[in-house]
Structure 1
Amino acid sequence: METNKPQKKNKWFLPLVFSLLLSTLLMFISIFISSSSNSQLYHTHVKSELLPRFVESKLKVSATSSDPVPRIAYLISGSMGDGESLKRTLKALYHPRNQYAVHLDLEASAEERLDLANFVRNEPLFVKLGNVRMVVRANLVTYRGPTMVTNTLHAAAILLKEGGEWDWFINLSASDYPLVTQDDLLHTLSAIPRNLNFIEHTSDIGWKEYQRAKPVIIDPGLYSLRKSDVFWASEKRSVPTAYRLYTGSAWMMLSRPFVDYFLWGWDNLPRIVLMYYANFLSSPEGYFHTVICNAEEFRNTTVNHDLHFISWDNPPKQHPHFLTVDDYQKMVDSNAPFARKFGRNEPVLDKIDSELLGCNADGFVPGRWFNNKTNSNLFPYDAMKNSTKLKPGPGAERLKRLINGLLSAKDFHANHCS
């Protein structure tokens, strides 16, 4: 009996040892593979962390239009008593290809604003083509305050949402007036890159640092329904260090890509700068200039001109001179497409109408889209059919000289945000 026990022991002992060895081997292989895999995953994870994923890298500047004839989006704004002047300026600027937003601020009476609304609503050409709209929810705009900037942003957003395709945004007031026809303007602009931004600017803010940047003001138009001048705080502040301040003219022609940028603000710069300029005196003369010159995508698209003839004192005061017949030849010789500032029913406007625009004081400016010199019997269907046909005149030659001179200047590139 005892002689059989070692044999039974040998029968189960060897398989046990073999299974232990196999298990140990499998365990080592599993640990090695797991360690290698984890190491690879770790290095892959570290590598992915070294490559930051920012949403801004996926957002690109919008493309410009390839349409051979450009389109312009206009803001024409006014205040109390400007209703009739605004209508006249609108007609002088009208072209079926363009888009228009008109705004009378809350200082204007309800009757005056209703009269403008009825004019826009009942003009047959506007009704048929649908390219003129009134800013129904009017803003209270304080002169020298940031509400002028917010009003411009509001109108630009409306035109971006409702105005379809357009190439440039131009802000004007009821006291502005064109010196060229829209056929002249569109013809000239069709030959230049559509990413250009005509915005007069400089980084040499000089006295404005102490009189506008460092003081802190509050615009009542941000919270009140009654217009009054800005309030001054007793505290002063230092100029920003995160971005550089620029200043210039409040009147500009901005490209569609830049308008997209300052409204969407995908890298937050436009909003940060807007919050700073909320307490800046005469912020329309600095906000857009500071944004464009601190944005890498747009700083090299600037043309240092506001496309206006304006008569200033030397050195400039707060307000420009009112233009009269005595300034007529200087306006023409400037080659600028716009001029300001005109008084209501100023006689020189009749001279501009008859000699430069070819229309009467209450009519549309003739062009290839509309050749009737009497400005009557206008058929909207014909206007739409001929909207891509232009008939440039002497104004186009003047404007071409201005723009070609700006773009071909030796210091053109050096003047980008200088």
Structure 2
Amino acid sequence: MRKNGSLHSGRSFTDRRWLLPFFASLLVSFTLFMATIFGLFSSQNSGDSLSLDVVTFTGLDDSELYSVELDRKKTVEQPVALGNEAPRIAYLITGTKGDSQRMRRTLQAIYHPRNQYILHLDLEAPPRERIDLAMYVKSDPLFSEVENVRVIAKANLVTYKGPTMIACTLHAIATLLKESLRWDWFINLSASDYPLMRQDDILHVLSSLPRNLNFIEHSPIAGWKLTQRARPIVVDPGLYLSKKFDVLVTSERRELPTPFKLYTGSAWVMLSRTFLEYCIWGWENLPRIVLMYYVNFISSPEGYFHTVICNSDEFRNTSISHDLHYISWDNPPKQHPLYLSTKDFNKMVKSGMPFARKFAKGDPVLDKIDRELLGRSKGEFTPGGWCNQGSDEAERCSSRGDDSKFLPGPGAERLQQLMKKLMSEEFRNGSCSSLQYDQTKRGWITS
């Protein structure tokens, strides 16, 4: 397998005989893609597909396989949430080789007993690292009591810029729905993300918002993204192989779809449960059609949910074009954001964003955030109204109190101001703009 980024052919394809093998390849890719999402295939270094509760391990050496025994809970009907009940968030935290400690720190910083948490270390991480992360979760008495933290035992191979990134996200969402867990919004974070306020602040502000809102930064796809992401025909080796390679790009180009309009934006989202049920259960054909298209798309997490929501009559008006992240970009912006440091601290705070990215491993600014924004001690949970107060200040959140009790602070005030802006009619007017396809320019234009 070569790692080069393109495949070239010495013959012309004017006879279009490449169409049949291409669509056959697309069908196979989509089948494998769906299998990745729902965990139908087993990988060499994994256990049961959808089990997330690690009970026992054998073979702790990296060169050996480990087995996971299941502790399957009885499926219960999803209780109907009361109108005045405080919201709940489902978090997905993803990482790769060497990220387990960062994921552990992020989990401690955003932990709240009301929420749900799924941790996914991709297949590039060695088995020992995944075992250590799972054993940490299993050994924590609070996690064992609340049972709201899960480690993906079946690791997916995630290829940068490939559709396996969105497959990992959909796999986590499908698991949350399959287990009938209680949550209202879904937020995806990476190991290089970190919160800028307490969960009490976030949950307090979200309590006053409609539960059907979707925070997803989006815009019609245009310019270089149209030619470099929408038109290429690509293959993600992560769907077929057990080692990570870059996506393969052919020399051929495809036409833009006409049944739906393409949107792009940030890969970091806060999506409502109702919208994600629509994407997973698919009572209309749109989510499946769009998913088939994005199996063959570069950087699919920056387009799949955006295209579905903006083409759906039911959910289009629930979108707010914002990703709730503070991100620092070059000017003009490049594809990768700048690393944040102490010099960015004041800007992060003034932004009112609940999250920021990206941070280098162990950067001193993380300690400053813990100390000045979260009030969190090293290795401990971020304090909140749910914590039982004890004599030892450092261990006051080691046991669970009333998880519906919030103690909002300055972070809630900052987030409230941000939400006031995002909910304004002026800001929301630009969401999911109406587009028309221009045959001459061969692209979508605003009508």
Q: Provide closer, same or farther for how the CA distance between residues 324 and 378 of structure 1 changes in structure 2, counting only shifts above 3 A.
A: closer
What corresponds to 1:17 in structure 2? none
Q: 1:198 aligns with which of 195, 203, 215?
A: 215
Q: Is 1:212 paired with 2:246? A: no
Answer yes or no: is 1:391 the counterpart of 2:410: no
Q: Which residue of 2 aligns with 1:376?
A: 395
Counterpart of 1:355? 372
Q: Following the alignment from structure 1 to structure 2, what is the Cα–Cα distance between the partners of residues 142 and 63?
A: 38
1:176 equivalent to 2:193? Answer: yes
SS at match of 1:333: helix
1:346 match = 363
Q: Measured at CA, do residues 241 and 409 of structure 1 come closer, stay the same or move farther in structure 2, by a change above 3 Å? A: same
Name which of 108, 128, 133 aligns with 2:150: 133
2:402 alignment partner AA: N
Q: CA deviation at 1:206?
A: 2.2
* 1:184-333 correspondence runs (5 A): 184-333=201-350
Tell me if structure 2 keeps the 8 A contact 1:171–1:252: yes
Q: Contact 1:131–1:163 at 8 Å: present in 2 too?
A: no
Q: Which residue of 2 aligns with 1:165?
A: 182
What's the counterpart of residue 431 of structure 2? 415
Check conservation: 2:94, 2:191, Cα contact below 8 A.
yes
SS at 1:254 equivalent: strand
Please report how far the alpha carbon of residue 416 of structure 1 lies from its aligned counterpart in structure 2 after TM superposition: 4.0
CA separation in 2, counterparts of 1:169 and 1:272?
Answer: 22
- For residues 356 and 139 of structure 1, what CA distance do their matches in structure 2 show? 34
TM-score (norm 1): 0.82
Spell out structure 1 runs of 4+ moving beyond 4 A.
62-65
Q: Specify which of 326, 350, 354 is matched with residue 337 of structure 1.
A: 354
Greater helix share, structure number:
1
Aligned partner of residue 120 in structure 2, secondary structure: strand
**Whole-Å Cα distance in 2 between the matches of residues 185 and 133 of structure 1?**
22
The residue type paired with residue 353 of structure 1 is D
TM-score by length of 2: 0.77
Distance 1:150 1:330 in 2: 34
Identical-pair percentage: 59
Structure 1: state its 5+ residue gaps: 1-61
> SS state of the match for residue 171, structure 1?
strand
Q: Output the aligned Cα RMSD.
A: 1.6
AA of the residue aligned to 2:422 = L
Which secondary structure state, in structure 2, belongs to the residue aligned with residue 232 of structure 1? strand
Q: Are the aligned partners of 1:65 and 1:167 in contact in 2 as well (CA < 8 Å)? A: no
Identify which of 96, 110, 114 aligns with 1:97. 114
Aligned residues: 354
Residues 222-249 of structure 1: per-residue CA shift (max 9 Å, x gap): 1110011111112100111110000000
CA contact (8 A) 1:307 1:337 kept: yes
Change (3 A) 1:168 1:65: farther
Q: Structure 1 residues 163, 178: closer, same or farther in 2, change over 3 A?
A: farther
Following superposition, the deviation at residue 410 of structure 1 comes to 2.1
Query: Within 2, Cα distance between the matches of 1:162 and 1:342?
Result: 33
Structure 2 residues not aligned, in runs of 5+: 1-78, 435-447
Q: CA deviation at 1:368?
A: 0.7
Tell me how far 1:317 sits from its aligned partner. Answer: 1.3
Superposition pairs for residues 72-91 of structure 1, below 5 Å? 72-91=89-108
**Whole-Å Cα distance in 2 between the matches of residues 188 and 307 of structure 1?**
13
CA distance in 2, matches of 1:416, 1:308: 20
For 2:82 and 2:352, locate their aligned partners in 1 and report how far apart those are by CA, in whole Å: 26
Match of 1:14 in 2: none
Q: Distance in 2 between matches of 1:65 and 1:140?
A: 39
